[in-house]
A and B are shown apart, each in its own frame.
Chain A
Amino acid sequence: MKRRKNLPAKNIMIVITLICILAIIFTWQSRSSITPIEKSFSYVVIPIQNGVNVVGDWLGEKVQFVKDIRDLENINETLQTELNELEYANKILQMDKTELVRLRELYTLDKRYADYPKIGAQVIGKDPSNWYKMFMINKGEKDGLKVNMVVLSGEGLVGHITEVGPNYAKVQSIINDTCNVSAKILRTSDLCIVKGDQTLVNNEALCRVDYIEDRANIVIGDEVVTSHLGSIYPPGILIGTINQIDTNSPKMTRTATLQPAVDFKHLEEVLVINQVWEDGLTEAADVQ
């Protein structure tokens, strides 16, 4: 009896192995089109995931609430003084803003990313392994999301959508090891590439900036934004600030590390630009 059982087990293993290898080969290039099997999985798992998240968040909130009460009073005081300062700063900024609007009109520059159409979404799951930085959001095809749409948070660029299901979408963040973003340094307009690098992600989630021109006059604290050369990302979205410059690189170009504007450790809500950049998002922005 046992012998009979052992033999098929091995045969089944070989068959499944072959099927898996075929699946790997077929999905290597075009992963974005989602198969019916995947769809059916998502109908079961996503609702549970949403539920677990709700329960987890609720529990976390309750625990945090008790913890926070003591701190809140201190924070309140410091915030009050800060508020006064900020109100003052705000007035100055508002004056600057009216000036800016005036100057913009003069130069007819109107490409702030505030103009791109956006919808909000929540992060519901993260990559199980420690190797990649992918996550899932709770909006999908039904909300009009498509592959290659750009994901932002309040502070700056998060990443782009690599796969869309009926009720979820997978987002590859810019700190993912396989991610490359064409960028430019805002102050000097020097082009560069922002790359995800696992060796920089572990402790504080940094990115590598590569191919900076050797003569480029960059300093620590320079802001890096997406460039006009990207095929996925619209130009002018803040990625982060330069945090360290590698001076003795043997290459013709320089590298640096970048502190993303987004806090990837505590990412809960994101914004999705619900129009694909290649499909004439420029025109939409220009019309406004």
Chain B
Amino acid sequence: MFRIVTVIAIVIFNIVFQSTIVQDIAIGGITINLLIITVVSFSLMRGKLEGAIIGFFIGLMQDVFFGNVIGFYALLYMYFGFFSGYLNKALYRDNLLIPILAITGSDLILNLLIYIMTYLFRGRIDFAYYFMNIILPELVYTTLVSVFVYKFYLFVNEKLDGVEKRRENKDKI
């Protein structure tokens, strides 16, 4: 219960921060993608089902507030949450390499998909330009920030685990 409330709060604050504060600290007009960091982080820590659920709701929020159609980002983020959940078992808690690589890879694939689905289909074929000026900067920026954000989520997750364990013990007694 406590976990659910926390996760809902994190989802809401993600979409709020992403559309306000993160936009203010953009470098050269390019912003980090907080949403993909959150989705992949939680999926890695909690498994694919929880990852998919968080991904779906974060994507849905983005669709509702900024999307052109409902369901596009919800679908994308849900699949990212789901598939990065497969790395859950391959993960040591304190190893940062796999999570960061997963986040970087996801952000790359996400942006490629967005480009193909919404730009290429409208005849914007100058892929090199979009890659060098939007995808790559966002990738670098997101990767750098993800180190800190992932550590923060790891900390939150550990706290939540602690709370849950204490509750369980209380129930047993």
Contacts and interface: CB of A to CB of B under 8 A. Distances in A.
Given A48-B16, A178-B122, A202-B133, A128 B71 contact: no
A131 B64 CA distance: 16
A269 to B, nearest CB: 16
A5 interface: yes
B16 A129 contact: no
B66 interface: yes
Contacts, number: 138
A74 B70 CA distance: 51
B71 A23 contact: yes
A249 interface: no
Interface stretch (B21-29, B98-106, B157-165): B21-29
B12 A131 contact: no
Interface in B127-171: 129-130, 133-134, 138
Given A24-B72, A41-B64, A203-B29, A131 B17 contact: no
Contacts of A127: 19, 66
A28 interface: yes
Interface string B52-91: 1000100001101110111110110010001000000000
Contacts of A265: 29
A86 interface: no
Contact of A49 (B19, B62, B78, B130): B19
Interface in A1-54: 5, 9, 12-13, 16-17, 19-24, 26-28, 31, 35, 37-38, 41-42, 44-45, 48-49, 52-53
Interface in B1-37: 12-13, 15-24, 28-31, 33-35
B49 interface: yes
Interface residues of B, number: 49
A126 B23 contact: yes
A17 B124 contact: no
B24 A60 contact: yes
Nearest to A24: B71
Given A41-B61, A130-B134, A125 B24 contact: no
B66 A16 contact: no
Given A21-B71, A178-B122, A198-B134, A52 B16 contact: yes
A171 B64 CA distance: 13
B119 A177 contact: yes
Contacts of B71: 19-24, 27
A74 to B, nearest CB: 26
A128 B19 contact: yes
A45 B16 contact: yes
10 A-B pairs closest in CB distance = A125-B19, A23-B71, A20-B71, A20-B75, A128-B18, A24-B71, A126-B23, A27-B70, A23-B70, A127-B66
28 contacts: A9-B52, A16-B78, A20-B78, A21-B71, A24-B71, A24-B72, A27-B70, A28-B69, A31-B70, A38-B70, A41-B61, A41-B64, A41-B65, A48-B13, A128-B18, A129-B114, A130-B138, A131-B118, A132-B68, A136-B65, A170-B65, A177-B124, A199-B124, A199-B129, A201-B29, A202-B134, A203-B28, A265-B29
